Amino acid sequence: MEIETLLNENQAKAATYLDGHLRIIAGAGSGKTRVVTYRIAHLIQNIGVDPRKILAITFTNKAANEMKERVNGILGIGGNMSLICTIHSLCVRILRQHIQVLGYPGSFIIMDEEDQKALLKKIYKQLEIPLKTISYKSALHSISNYKMANISPEKAKQLAGQFEGEYKKAVIYEEYLAYQEKQFLLDFDDLLLKTMVLFENYPDVLQKWQHKFQFIHVDEFQDVGDIEYRMILMLSKFATVCVVGDPDQTIYSFRGANIQYILDFDKDFVGSKTITLDRNYRSSKNILSVSNKLIRNNQNRLKKDLYTNLDIGKEVVHYMAASEEQEAEYVCDQIEEIINKEEGINYSDFLILYRANYLSRNLEQAMIRRKIDYRIYGGLKFFQRKEVKDALSYLRLVAYNDDLSFERIINVPTRGIGNKTLEKIQYVALNYQIDYLDALLFHSNEINFSSKTKKEVQILANALLKARSSSKAMHLIFEDLLEDVGYMEMLRKDVEENRIDNINELKRAIFDYQNANPETASIENYLQDIALFTDSDRDQGEQFVSMMSIHMAKGLESNYVFVIGLSEGIFPSFRTIGEDGEEGLEEERRLAYVAFTRAKRQLFLTDSQGYSFIMNSPKLASRFLNEIGTTGVKHLGKKPTYKTSDYITPPKLDLVGDNEVKDWKIGDFVSHDHFGKGVVVAVNGQTLDIAFSLPAGIKTLMASHQCFKKLLN
């Protein structure tokens, strides 16, 4: 395999450099997946590295599958021997082998977000906490913060101080952990945390995995957070590490991504080499010129300018509308005009991006009026739809005696088992220290079912027993199970055609899974895989305009891209700049850069006049429209006014103190002049949420203030 003939000069250097650790700064559309793919193939085919010694970590299942397919396309079946997976999948693999030392069985169950909410619903009922007082989202956020900061429920209660809401969250956290431990349930945070517990406390486990890999690749390295970075650092003791990413595309700080890890890679990986992929294969020269001018305004970055050998292309169009309604009409006009003019162009060539989901409303109304087919991404995901969750709960009962799944489906379809009967089942299960399903099946005489309910329970028992003992293919077991328990009949009676279609799609997914994994396919493994699944895969072949928030557009591209709502306070976001200061503004600019570089042929930027309820003032065009200048840009519509004095000024919190710590992370200990010792439970740019002992509780403080300092753990 002649790498030099397959890749450009810098790509080839990155794919073949093996003399030490490597940082690949891969600009948008520069072919980073192609480089990593050929690097893995080069190691195996040209260098002779055992493929089992190669690890590639991605951050979505879609990216992992794409990389696997590409490697297999080059090497054939031999490429399957390398481990290419998400970091959560890697953790699952490690935990399945070693978690027994922590007192968990290897058959632990992975909770997704819907499972977490189902558990919270149970806890809220038990504690008599109304949902309107503490949302599930708020409770899960607190639980995640407590876990990541290694705060026990007892400590969380102490830290709550006099805040009743925080105390309730601590109690919820306590019940959540207790249920998890009893049922051997792990959420996504636990997958990372339990793996780190193994690595930090069981040297033999860590050494096994350190010796397992000689070459480690990490894709989208600009998106790693603290715990992911620590894990990669620990795994890399005997391995050569290659990281790939773009600091200019760090847009997930709110999820814990830390841009400094890619910027400071050479500090922890001494002697590492940096190769920049700056040739863009996606966008026209005008689009790249505008994008480069925008991102140059950021200071915290590794300097680079993307270039392309493609044509200069059409001018970037900025249109200022008189109103939001006119802005929506303009977008629709352009879509229809381009389709009528350009041969071979259809709705699927258009992508509309916005900073916040609410901005889609006027566009949706305009498209419905004008009969333009569109799809909103970011709605209810496939695996979160009720019928899909129900069906998977039945499968989980076949694989495990899972109490959460039991509670979800025991009366779906109706079997005459209401809340009181369920409480009896729970009481019997507690009395005998068994699962709810076993209580139902083996101690039904103590629950006093009606004759009709007894019959329905027996039908359920027979269906589960049949599924467990069946030698049929998985998709047929699934099909029989839902028929035998009466679920499909329930949908047919209710004429739920859409739900039936979703069940059929799930059956097809199971069929595809077993065909792709003939040797390892099992219900348990399938449930594990889909628990890690994200909504990255899209329907192919249909013609519709795609609409989504910019955060969802990472990794996508389209011939024609519209970025709407470019008004100050909306984009850049008033809230982000207000909370995170200059760091927040730079992240907003990176977000705009990501949006702009999705475009291949032409980029449209729109905003509107009127009154901003966010800013409580007349709308002002975004500063980003000023920063891109006029070269290669056509300004249309109302004449834009750029009053620099009216722009949001990021708060300069670093001027009020002399605390020079810049790498705050959850779990850091501090000493405060007034509040005493505390622990960081959330990092919000230039502010920290710090939990102090009673009576102070949780306080939000400026990270740079001289009143407190970081303590060594």
628: tokens are 């891109």
385: tokens are 């739809």
Residue type, 166: E
What is the widest separation between alpha-carbon atoms in the chain?
Answer: 82
Choose among 337, 358, 392, 393: nearest CA to 602. Answer: 337
Query: Are 350 and 558 in contact, with CB atoms under 8 Å apart?
Result: yes
Query: Are 439 and 432 in contact, with CB atoms under 8 Å apart?
Result: yes
CA 708 from chain centre, in angstroms, equals 33
DSSP state of 400: S
The residues that bridge with 690 in the sheet, in sequence order, are: 680, 699
Query: Are 319 and 606 in contact, with CB atoms under 8 Å apart?
Result: yes
d(CA 591, CA 126): 42
> How many C-beta atoms surround the C-beta of residue 324 within 10 A?
21
The residues that bridge with 700 in the sheet, in sequence order, are: 689
Angstrom CA distances, 272 to 24, 260, 265, stand at: 10, 16, 8
d(CA 284, CA 656): 45
Q: Are strands 599-608 and 611-612 parallel, antiparallel or unpaired?
A: unpaired
d(CA 171, CA 146): 12
Using alpha carbons only, how large is the chain's radius of gyration in Å?
27
Choose among 604, 702, 681: nearest CA to 286. Answer: 604
Q: Are strands 617-618 and 611-612 parallel, antiparallel or unpaired?
A: antiparallel
Question: Annotated catalytic residue: which of 23, 598, 600, 623?
Answer: 598
d(CA 580, CA 586): 10
Question: Annotated catalytic residue: which of 58, 249, 334, 597?
Answer: 249
Q: Under 8 Å CB-to-CB from 183, ≥6 apart: which residues?
A: 109, 402, 403, 404
The verdict on whether 260 is a catalytic residue reads no
The verdict on whether 219 is a catalytic residue reads yes
The verdict on whether 52 is a catalytic residue reads no
The verdict on whether 274 is a catalytic residue reads no
Residue that has been written with the tokens 């980003």 in this structure: 624
138: three-class secondary structure by DSSP: helix
Q: Under 8 Å CB-to-CB from 287, ≥6 apart: which residues?
A: 313, 316, 596, 597, 599, 600, 602, 603
Ranges of beta strands (E only) in 385-518 are none
Choose among 483, 335, 511: nearest CA to 413. Answer: 483
Query: Are 229 and 204 in contact, with CB atoms under 8 Å apart?
Result: no
Choose among 510, 552, 165: nearest CA to 357. Answer: 552
Question: Annotated catalytic residue: which of 11, 13, 23, 32?
Answer: 32
Question: Annotated catalytic residue: which of 220, 248, 456, 579?
Answer: 220
Choose among 712, 576, 700: nearest CA to 650. Answer: 576
CA 475 from chain centre, in angstroms, equals 28
d(CA 414, CA 530): 27
The verdict on whether 220 is a catalytic residue reads yes
Q: Under 8 Å CB-to-CB from 261, ≥6 apart: which residues?
A: 221, 222, 224, 229
The verdict on whether 33 is a catalytic residue reads yes
Question: Annotated catalytic residue: which of 33, 158, 210, 260?
Answer: 33
296: tokens are 């140059």
Question: Annotated catalytic residue: which of 219, 407, 668, 689?
Answer: 219
Q: Are strands 374-376 and 698-702 parallel, antiparallel or unpaired?
A: unpaired
185: tokens are 């349930």
d(CA 568, CA 646): 9
Instruction: Report the catalytic residues.
Output: 32-33, 219-220, 249, 598
